[in-house]
Chains A and B, each alone.
Chain A
């Protein structure tokens, strides 16, 4: 097992290397002069000053040298400065990461728990009216684009009913830390959390259903029933344990979204998280920020893929990794 872990971890390094090089190249090719933002307010700039600055920032180096320097700094956890804000990238990313984590963890916990419960219901009551309705609803919601769903919720709950704010994270007229500010903050979270939770439910409910149905067909459950165990124990103790194994793996694979946020949902609700930061930094030519966000997402994707494999082997005794 340890052997397997070490081997897999070392396999990740080239993959991350390729991804970082690929993304760096793409962003390097983007239009826009990195010095433009810095110098647009300098009226009497001479060409030789411009050249001197390019040399100073290493912008006249070939792309692979620039990439190498950037990567070397990133490994030392120094991602550089934002062109747009003139601040260290870390100071921009950390608050965004915190906001996204609040949003996504709430959504994921609610969404996954509801999805698993609904999936169990659908499987236990297969072909019942409730199962049909749930299946139809997940199928229909699968075809609803997230940005439209978000806007529809805004129309119903903000425009028509006036219960919830349309966007942002907190009202500006409230004193921070007060009771009203906290209530307001939760109100701002309700709609984006709902959109994200619904998309979680769509993905996991069907998966849970089919996984449990697969287990329910097996002989050992007949044995359990023959022993005289109640249906509650048969499903709750015996069936569920095995049915949850693939579901847990799927949950691990989808976890990077918790860190990366959702560019679409955060943009619809103007929520200052990682997804929106990714979008605005790409749109605003702030590539140092964009690169860092992308690399954080890439590392979490790769990490959680590995974690999913490990959890799968750990939970399912039929799987043993060769060392």
Chain B
């Protein structure tokens, strides 16, 4: 650990007129904790996560347990959210559907940012033809309305959880790519990049070790908002009959199924949508709060 002792020695020589400043991430965490909106969003998210994980075990019914004697029941102590047209317990189905929808949201949110972030950093740092080609591809994906691509691609790929995730990642990486590229373009000519290159760092090292951490802030916000957008897209597709197919429940296809009995049991239409709303709300609130907390221009501690 020669490097760390050297670092330590340099630190010790710093003039003491500058008090120790908290690191960026500590400031971010402090700001995030002070943010009221963040609390609401975070609360919603944890609440949903706990519910979909523990929810199915809270009642004694299986996911596809048909009970023809108890069809279309209203909510009761026995069936908290009532039952559907086959007597299946709606609570269990909504919680399982939530597992599917939240999984899609989280996986897509994280993978779009990894994929888009890397592509954006590559395009911004390498520049030239590569940048041009990648950005024209981004433009083309932006120009065609999202619903057209979603419908065409999901019809082509066929239903299924993995296919939905792949399609959504293939469409939504563009956001993160633009953000990362923009951040890299503003850093590329700065001294710390030049310093790293002078010290013999390879291109990949510059990109991954120096440019990536510096463009992380907008990417984290993008991940949160992309996760929300992915849940919206998945539930929309499932609602239209293209996404997750019954009998596997998803918030979207539960809604479609219930909509056929909207005159008899409107509550069954209300409930899955309410959970979609909670999920979208929590990701949007979190994204908003993170955007405020991560903004490097706001440095509340430097006083």
Contact = CB atoms under 8 A, between A and B. Distances in A.
B153 interface: yes
B270 A155 contact: yes
Contacts of B235: 145
A16 B87 CA distance: 51
Interface string A86-118: 000000000000000000000000000000000
Nearest to B155: A282
B186 interface: no
Interface residues of B, number: 33
Contact of A298 (B143, B240, B277): B143
A23 interface: yes
A151 B143 contact: no
Contacts of A30: 155-156
B279 to A, nearest CB: 8
A267 B232 CA distance: 16
Chain A's interface size range is 35 or more
Given A29-B156, A159-B263, A267 B145 contact: no
Contacts of B241: 283
Contact of A26 (B156, B240, B255): B156
Interface in B224-240: 228, 232, 235-236, 239-240
B140 interface: yes
B276 interface: yes
A301 B145 contact: yes
A244 B57 CA distance: 54
Interface stretch (A48-56, A135-143, A213-221): A135-143
Given A15-B143, A260-B145, A143 B284 contact: yes
Given A145-B277, A155-B269, A301-B143, A264 B236 contact: yes
B211 interface: no
B284 A297 contact: no
B280 A18 contact: no
A151 B269 contact: yes
B55 interface: no
| Residue of A140, A145, A294 contacting most chain B CB atoms (<10 Å) | A145
B254 to A, nearest CB: 11
Given A143-B284, A145-B232, A294-B148, A22 B266 contact: no
A142 B156 contact: no
Interface of A: 15, 18-19, 22-23, 26-27, 29-30, 139-140, 142-145, 147-148, 151-152, 154-155, 159-160, 166, 256, 260, 262-264, 267, 275, 278-279, 282-283, 290, 294, 297-298, 301-302, 305
Please name the 6 residue pairs, one residue from A and one from B, whose CB atoms are nearest each other, closest first.
A148-B273, A143-B280, A143-B281, A155-B266, A282-B151, A147-B239
